[in-house]
Amino acid sequence: MPSPPASASAYPWRARGRVIGGSAVLAVIAYAYVLRIAVRDANPFDFFGYFTNQTNALTAAVLIVIGLLATRGRRLPSALTVAWGVGVACLIVVAVVYNGLVPGTGSAPPWVSAVLHAVFPALVVVDFATAPDRPVLPWNRLWWVLPYPLLWVAVVLLRGATDGWVPYGFMLPERGLASLVLHVVGILLLLLVAATGVWALSRVRWAGRTRTRHPS
């Protein structure tokens, strides 16, 4: 069942901002990929195997769709608004893990890394926190935050066992099974904490904000 009409149609600047911001992030990711092509390291399965690149691209796409629907006064499907919350939670994890644990790593230009690991995650959180069309996310859909990262982990582990490629050092086989399990479980717990915060934030009332509820 879709949610009520998007109240963002009353705030066209915000809806357009999502479309522009999401498109800009996709352009940054495309630019970073072109740089990999230039140095003959253009395997898309490697480039988009990074959780950062995937999550930024997927969340940008979700924001573009939300913005386009809002500018047309269209209803937001409940699955799309839950995907919005999942994207916010995943980008919080991207920002925390990168800036807190492995700052300065990677081969992308510093400004590209800053956009994907700090600027876009921060803007997405601020947008969600202040959005007049922010949905009240049902607690029984909190588990939706898990399938995407679990699928990502499964694919990465499969690749590591077959062609030996892994995106992050903590997933290297030589680090041992205990280290891998500890890191993966820790990141998944961090993701659940972030998602719980996002779901709770969706219930915060701001003056003048229209509350959009999902069916439970």
Confidence of residue 160 (pLDDT cuts 50, 70, 90): confident
- Between CA 78 and CA 48 the distance in angstroms is 27
Q: 4-35, pLDDT tens digit by residue?
A: 444 445 568 899 999 999 999 999 999 999 99
Q: In this predicted structure, what is the pLDDT of residue 147?
A: 96
- The per-residue pLDDT for range 39-88, each reduced to its tens digit, is 888 899 999 999 999 999 999 999 999 999 988 888 889 999 999 999 99
E strand or H helix at 195: helix 177-201
- Fill in the DSSP letter of residue 55: H
List, in order, residues 6 or more apart from 150 with CB less than 8 Å away. 188
Residues 162, 164, 167, 173, Cα dihedral to 10°: 100
